[in-house]
Amino acid sequence: MRVSAKADYAVRAAAELAAAQKEESPVKGERLADAQDIPLQFLEHILLELKHHGIVRARRGAKGGYWLARPADEVTVAEIVRAVEGPIAHVQSTPPEDIEYRGNSKHLQEVWIAVRASLRSVLEEVTLADLVSGELPSVVGELTAAPDAWVAR
């Protein structure tokens, strides 16, 4: 139940691209790496994955770089996480709806489904536009309002 460095990097880089969407020219990988302090060569692999998933586009050569394939308010954090980490909240790399539980754990399936749904309720609501503007959806505000949301357990 952890977030990989790759996913974190991917979202951060995408946020930079979202902010640069008004500019006419594409953004170089190096600028993204500098802005978010990400190892350049690692970032290029990540951007390539995002490109394969149709989230970003790129052009080579002088004046080349990366840009978002769609408007920033149409790209969700969930999409980016899935692109680099694969499906969200799988159990043992199979989706929770495909697992058969028996005996006294029969209802565990519903719990894992609820876990996935709760993750989606956050990740699919937040767009890159929300991220750069800082105006996050109300669900985020409600979840981060309680002080103990900010402390470890």
Site string for DNA, 45-74 (x = CB under 7 A): x-xx--xx-----xxxxxxxxx--------
CB 119 within 8 A of CB 127: no
68 touches which of its own copies, DNA, none (CB within 5 to 8 A by kind)?
none
Q: Can you read off the two tokens belonging to residue 147?
A: 């002080």
Query: CB within 8 A of 35, min separation 6: which ones?
Result: 16
**Would you call 90 exposed, middle or buried from its count of C-beta atoms within 10 A (0-12, 13-18, 19+)?**
middle
C-alpha 92/C-alpha 89 separation (Å) is 9
| Interface segment toward DNA; rule CB under 7 A; list 23-31, 97-105, 114-122, 130-138 | 23-31
C-alpha 29/C-alpha 20 separation (Å) is 13
Binding site for DNA (CB under 7 A): 4-6, 26-30, 39-42, 44-45, 47-48, 51-52, 58-66, 85, 92-93
Binding site for its own copies (CB under 8 A): 1-5, 7-8, 11-12, 15-16, 18-19, 35-37, 77-78, 81-82, 85, 87-93, 95, 97, 101-108, 110-123, 126, 130-132, 134, 136, 139-140, 143-144, 146, 149-153
